[in-house]
Amino acid sequence: MNFVDELKNLKEQIKFKEKFNLDFDYDNIVISGMGGSGIVGDIIQEHYTKKPLIAIGDYGIPDFVNENTLFIGISYSGNTEETLNNIIMARERNAHILAITSGGKLSDLADYKIIIPSGLQPRSAIGYMLMPLLNTFAPVQDSVIDETYNLLESMDKSHDEMRKIALKIYENSYIPVILGAKPYKSVAYRWKTQFNENSKTFAFYNYFPELNHNDTMPLKKAYRKDEYLYFVFNSDNPRIQKRIDVTQEITGESFNVVSSPTEEYFQKLFYLIHYADYVTYELALIRNVDPTDVSTIEELKRKLA
Ligand code: F6R
């Protein structure tokens, strides 16, 4: 599948119905994953608050992990060192081991596993990796999935707006800075990583209200102030919207507002994710770099193996 077909595949992925059938009690949930796989742990951590849930994108597991923990390893390849390391540690603590993967060593280590289709870039499989978590912990109504499908399809058909933003970034050599807000802080981070991997550009992120306690200073007085292009997501939280407005007013910066056509959580989540898919893909084309190329990451993994 070429890269644009991978992007177009996202709308099919949100129809993925697999879930974990858990017929036992547990106290807490830990999700371990890196990069394009790890992001789904961050997304669910922001959204699901009924039980303690933490997402780890690192080596090591918390001291509280025990036989009452659901420990979920997410790795598209199933061979990511940090994730496998943590799964082995969690097994030693007798945690329930769950996995979402397309194969690899991870699938052999799990008590419960969901195998997703292989052959995609891990970052293009975000729907396949996220849906089993949502289906298990916070199911989405079919009607919402259908509407989201239509929304993503319309973006696949027409993404001139995203191409214009990519051109603006390219023509001015801007460094993108994405300023998110709950429950889309993780999406701001996803934008950053899509710029990194697809477009091969640096990008930075922060979120409201936290950035009003630090990044607000360089917003006004940074070195090379003209080299950054700021993005915010529209917010239906009046305090966040007020912060966005006042921050622009007192720093003299103006932010590019990415406005979702709907405030419904799931639709907005995938709208914002897909928006960045296209901005970063178009920027790769304009820069004449291969959006699929992650050879340096792969070389690094080989050298560490
Ligand atoms: C995304 C990508 C990387 C990987 C990361 C972890 O497309 O290539 O960010 O997701 O290196 O690998 P996996 O996802 O196989 O665990």
Residue from 297, 301, 303 whose mutation best tests the ligand 1 pocket (most atoms within 8 A of CB): 297
pLDDT per residue as tens digits for the range 2-14: 999 999 999 999 9
Given the CA of residue 83, which atom of ligand 1 is nearest to it?
A: 16
Peptide linkage before 209 cis (omega within 30 of 0)? yes
Identify the CA nearest to 139 among candidates 11, 43, 19, 13: 19
Ligand 1 pocket residues where CB is under 6 Å: 34-37, 75-77, 80, 83, 121-123, 197, 294, 297
pLDDT per residue as tens digits for the range 28-63: 999 999 999 999 999 999 999 999 999 999 999 999
Per the rule left: phi > 0, alpha: psi between -120 and 50, beta: everything else, 295 is alpha
Active-site residue among 157, 213, 221, 303? 213
The whole model's pTM is what? Answer: 0.97
296 in Cβ contact with 178 (< 8 Å): no
Predicted pLDDT at 95: 98
Given the CA of residue 301, which atom of ligand 1 is nearest to it?
A: 11
Average pLDDT on 161-168 reads 98
Given the CA of residue 121, which atom of ligand 1 is nearest to it?
A: 7
Q: Helix axis angle, 185-194 relative to 35-47, nearest 10°? A: 170
CA pair distance 268, 249, nearest whole angstrom: 26
Predicted pLDDT at 113: 97
- Answer yes or no: is pLDDT of 123 > 90: yes
- Answer yes or no: is pLDDT of 281 > 90: yes
Average pLDDT on 99-108 reads 97
pLDDT per residue as tens digits for the range 224-278: 999 999 999 999 999 999 999 999 999 999 999 999 999 999 999 999 999 999 9
Residue 78 C-alpha to ligand 1 middle, in angstroms? 10
- Answer yes or no: is pLDDT of 1 > 90: no
Q: Is 92 a catalytic residue?
A: no
pLDDT per residue as tens digits for the range 205-232: 999 999 999 999 999 999 999 999 999 9
Average pLDDT on 147-151 reads 98
86 in Cβ contact with 73 (< 8 Å): yes
Average pLDDT on 169-191 reads 98
Structural domains of the chain in order of their starting residue, each with its CATH number: 3-139 (3.40.50.10490), 143-287 (3.40.50.10490)
Phi and psi of 208, rounded to 5°? Answer: -80, 140
Average pLDDT on 179-201 reads 98
